[in-house]
Structure 1
Amino acid sequence: MLDQPFIKAKPVMETLEDNGYECFFVGGAVRDCLISRHIGDIDIATNATPNDMQRIFPKTVPVGIEHGTVLVIHNGESFEVTTYRTEGEYKDYRHPSEVSFVKDVKLDLSRRDFTINAIAMDLEGNLLDPFDGKKDLNERVIRTVGNPHDRFTEDPLRMLRGVRFVSQLNFNLDEATLTAISEQHHLLNKISVERITDELVKLFKHANINSALKIIRQTGMDQSLPIFKDRHHIFSRLNKMVFNQPLNHAGVMFAIFHLIDPNISLHTWTKTYKVSNNIKRKAIHLIDSYKSYQDQGMSNVVLYNVGKQLPDLLQIIKLFNLKSYNIKELQSQYQSLPIKDRSELIVTGQNLLQWFPHEKRGQWIGKYLNRIEEAVIKGELQNSREEIESKVREWKRQEND
């Protein structure tokens, strides 16, 4: 019996078959189904051409029509349907020089990266497995389809992708694949840094990070990764850390990279790996929170400032300080804080201007609000207009004395 994600795609498959075409479920969804993992996006391969698909389906989007891929919309769900194809020489280490549509699904499967991703499944759940991918799944082995040197020359990112599967699936790379990576990792220099960043982020988002890092070190792949290749001590330290859970966000990863060697600025990391401003902001926030923690321990101020990123901060503390905290106790401590955000302060900058009408607007307002905020968080000052006004006037008198 098909799992629910496949059942949703069943009408698409049936429409193709009713129109005389052959089709199979392919890729990661089939792999994950066979090892009882969560099934993500459903991909379908067919001998129907893109023109055929656009003709028989009422709603389609030509997302990659030059490579045979059409997005089919059915009942509000989107499914990628791709024509069986073979590929010419990879002259730019990513894109084939030409794509040819074929009628034999086995030819299509032969162009894929790893045997565990080269299994096709029909509507009845029957498998087409010309490269023994199911056997490799059972033996928990990641092995390339055909010669690994050929596969990695076509697209060197497959080397890092294979290591990412080690973290994702808790599988091992077979010896031939390991040897090829050791001999060809320099080809990663031909790959755009954005693609490398994407695979690294995915690697750290899965549970078996340490196994993957060990392979990167073992094969020398770190010598072909930006920054790491010029700062060998960083990866050496990273490889010795004990990651006991996946990283929730790429910002955590880059914060860790910077904290291993603060002489390499976060800006250097984020610019080199071309990450988004959102990732950079999260990394900065975590780095600042960790530095505050080093100065004052797990204080109310640290909890207040780190906010929802507390689990990420605890991961960093565990990695660098080998110290664990009871997160439920800390969350309870956080909930007991008098305020959770500056907007909850009973006073604003306008109140300060009212209390001191002869003062001009300026940096002093933000300075006093920061001081009020910290005093309230520490419990040194009640979040009361009268008490705050009294304290601020006292601060002012002290400054003027």
Structure 2
Amino acid sequence: MLSEPFLQAEPIMITLEERGYESFLVGGAVRDFFANRPIGDIDIATNATPEEVQRIFPRTVPVGIDHGTILVLHNGFSFEITTYRTEGEYDDYRHPSDVSFVKDIKLDLSRRDFTINAIAMDRHGNVLDPFDGKIDLENQIIKTVGSPNERFSEDPLRMLRGVRFVSQLGFQMDSDTEQAIKQLHRLLQRISVERITDEISKLFTHHYINSALNIVSVTNMDRSLPIFDEQEHLFEKLKTIKFHESLNHAGIMFAIFHLLDPNISVQKWIKTYKVSNRIRRKALHLINNYNDYQEKGLTKPVIYSIGKDHLYDFYQLIGLLDLVNLKFNVLLDSYEHLPIKSRDDLVINGQDFINWFPNEKKGKWIGDYLDQIEKLIITEELRNNRDEIESRVREWKARERG
């Protein structure tokens, strides 16, 4: 019998079976269940066609109907239901030229990338494992379904995906699979950079980063990754970093990439890897504050500039690059004891300047004064007190006029 969280999917599976169709739990959820890991999205495979799935369930979204996938919404949960299928040639190294719906779950499992992802389980807990994925899970091995050369030639991104599973699970890579990557890694150059960026980012957000980087090294995969392929010294430097935990954000990864060799501009990394604005902003913020930290140390203005939302990311960055022996709680305590946490905490604002100097024309001077006051308060050279601030500003104005 199923247990949580698979019980959420049981009503969907029962409904399919009552209509005369098969249903199996498949993919990462089954893999993680047998690996005793937290379970994410639950996917279901069935011999019902997409159109039949849409007729059976009242609330559906055709998220990938051309490839047989329908999203079913039920009791506040969503499940991807995909029709058993086989695939034709991969003309563009990503999408099969044609998809054929089939009635045999084993044929569907045979098209999957790695054996650990080719395990199916019915709602009674019975397992279908034609490629010995459970054995590979027990032995902690990443191995392709069938020929690794065929799997990687169909979609070369699977090579990087396999390395990402090494980082995620801490498994070893099967020797034949590793050898195939060594032979075929140049095919990665035919993959869109956005897909490469996504997989590399995921690699660094898991725990066994150094193990994954070792696979990249021994297979020479770095020679087919943008920028790294032109700068061999970069990956050698990257391998020397000891990653003791996953990175909180892909922006930290790109900050590290740039700081490995500041002569390669951060803009080049951002443009080449086509990173999202969210990642770009994080990377730039960390790099700017890292450079300030290198020049000034962990001063109050530097900690203030980092900000609480980025504090742990910065802590990770300096720990990795500079081997700083600093406890995060110490850094957090320094932040918490800042006189102000943002400009919004100032007891005055631009309107106060206008009120104090009604005959002065509005202009850039107001922002300049706010900047100076902010810095003085952060360094505790001035208290965040309205009267004291007004007195200091009037001194400045008198000096300017004098």
TM range (shorter): over 0.9
Read off the aligned partner of 2:290 and give its amino acid letter. Y
Identity of aligned residues (%): 62
**Which residue of structure 2 lines up, in the alignment, with residue 75 of structure 1?**
75
The answer for the alignment partner of 1:319 in structure 2 is 320
Rounded to whole Å, the distance in 1 between the matches of 2:130 and 2:24 is: 14
Farther off after superposition, 296-305 or 92-101: 296-305
Bigger mean CA offset, 297-306 vs 170-179: 297-306
In structure 2, the residue matched to 1:210 is 210
Shift of 1:330: 2.2
1:311-368: per-residue Cα shift (whole Å, max 9, x none)? Answer: 1111111112111212222222222222111011011122223333443333222222
1:38-88 CA-partner distances (Å, limit 9, x unpaired): 000000001011111111111111111111111111112110000000000
The aligned residue for residue 186 of structure 2 is 186
- Secondary structure in structure 2 of the residue aligned to 1:381: coil
Q: Distance in 1 between matches of 2:14 and 2:60?
A: 16
Please give the secondary structure, in 2, of the residue aligned with 1:78.
strand
Q: Which moved more, 1:219-228 or 1:386-395?
A: 386-395
Letter in 1 for 2:349: T
Post-superposition offset of 1:371: 1.2
- Matched residues in 2 for 1:399 and 1:209: separation? 57
Q: State how 1:106-125 maps to structure 2 within 5 Å.
A: 106-125=106-125
Asked if 1:374 is matched to 2:375, the reply is yes
For residues 57 and 317 of structure 2, what CA distance do their matches in structure 1 show? Answer: 50
Instruction: Answer yes or no: is the 8 Å Cα contact 1:83–1:101 preserved in 2.
Output: yes
Q: How does 1:20-39 map to 2 (within 5 A)?
A: 20-39=20-39
Aligned to 1:96: 96
Equivalence for 2:255: 255
Matches within 5 A, 1:248-397: 248-307=248-307, 308-397=309-398
Partners of 2:332 and 2:63 in 1: how far apart?
A: 44
Q: Distance in 2 between matches of 1:348 and 1:14?
A: 63
Deviation string for 1:281-300 (max 9, x for gaps)?
11111111112211222222
Deviation at 1:397, TM superposition (A): 4.1
Q: 1:320 to 1:399 in 2, by over 3 A?
A: farther
- Map of 2:239 onto structure 1: 239
**Residue by residue, what CA displacement relative to the aligned partner does 1:114-150 show, whole Å, maximum 9, x if unpaired?**
0000000011111100000000000000000000000
- Greater shift in the superposed pair: 49-58 or 134-143: 49-58
Aligned to 2:159: 159
Mapped to 2, the partners of 1:356 and 1:388 lie a distance apart of 14
In the TM superposition, 1:9-48 aligns within 5 A as: 9-48=9-48
Q: Say if 2:94 is the partner of 1:133.
A: no
Which segments of 5 or more consecutive residues in structure 1 lack a partner in the other structure? none
* 2:51 counterpart of 1:51: yes
Question: SS of the residue aligned with 1:25?
Answer: strand
CA distance in 1, matches of 2:395, 2:253: 45
In structure 2, runs of 5+ residues without a counterpart are none
What amino acid does structure 1 have at the position aligned with 2:394? R
Task: Using the TM superposition, give the Cα deviation of residue 398 of structure 1 relative to its aligned residue in structure 2, in angstroms.
Answer: 4.2
Kindly provide the amino acid, as one letter, of the partner of residue 343 in structure 1.
Answer: D
Aligned residues of 1:317 and 1:324 also touching (Cα < 8 A): no
Give the whole-Å Cα distance in 1 for the aligned partners of 2:234 and 2:365.
42
Kindly tell me the number of residue pairs found equivalent between the two proteins: 401
The code of the aligned residue for 2:391 comes to: S
d(CA) in 1 for partners of 2:64, 2:19: 22
**CA RMSD, 1 decimal:** 1.2
TM-score normalised by L of structure 1 = 0.97
Asked if the contact 1:314–1:324 (Cα under 8 Å) also holds between the matched residues in 2, the reply is no
Question: What's the CA shift for 1:260?
Answer: 1.1
Residue of structure 1 equivalent to 2:8: 8
Q: TM (normalized to structure 2)?
A: 0.97
Which residue type is aligned with residue 273 of structure 1?
Y
- Distance, in Å, in 1 between the alignment partners of 2:275 and 2:380 is 39
Segment drifting more, 273-282 vs 166-175: 273-282
For the residues of structure 2 that align with 1:350 and 1:309, how far apart are their CA atoms?
Answer: 30
Q: Which amino acid counterpart does residue 324 of structure 1 have in structure 2?
A: N
Opposite residue 227 of structure 1, the aligned amino acid is I
Alpha-carbon deviations, 1:129-176, whole Å to 9, x = none?
A: 000000000000000000000000000000000000000000011110
**Corresponding residue of 1:87:** 87
Taking structure 1 as reference, are residues 400 and 183 closer, same or farther at Cα in structure 2, changes over 3 Å only?
farther
Q: Distance in 2 between matches of 1:75 and 1:184?
A: 45
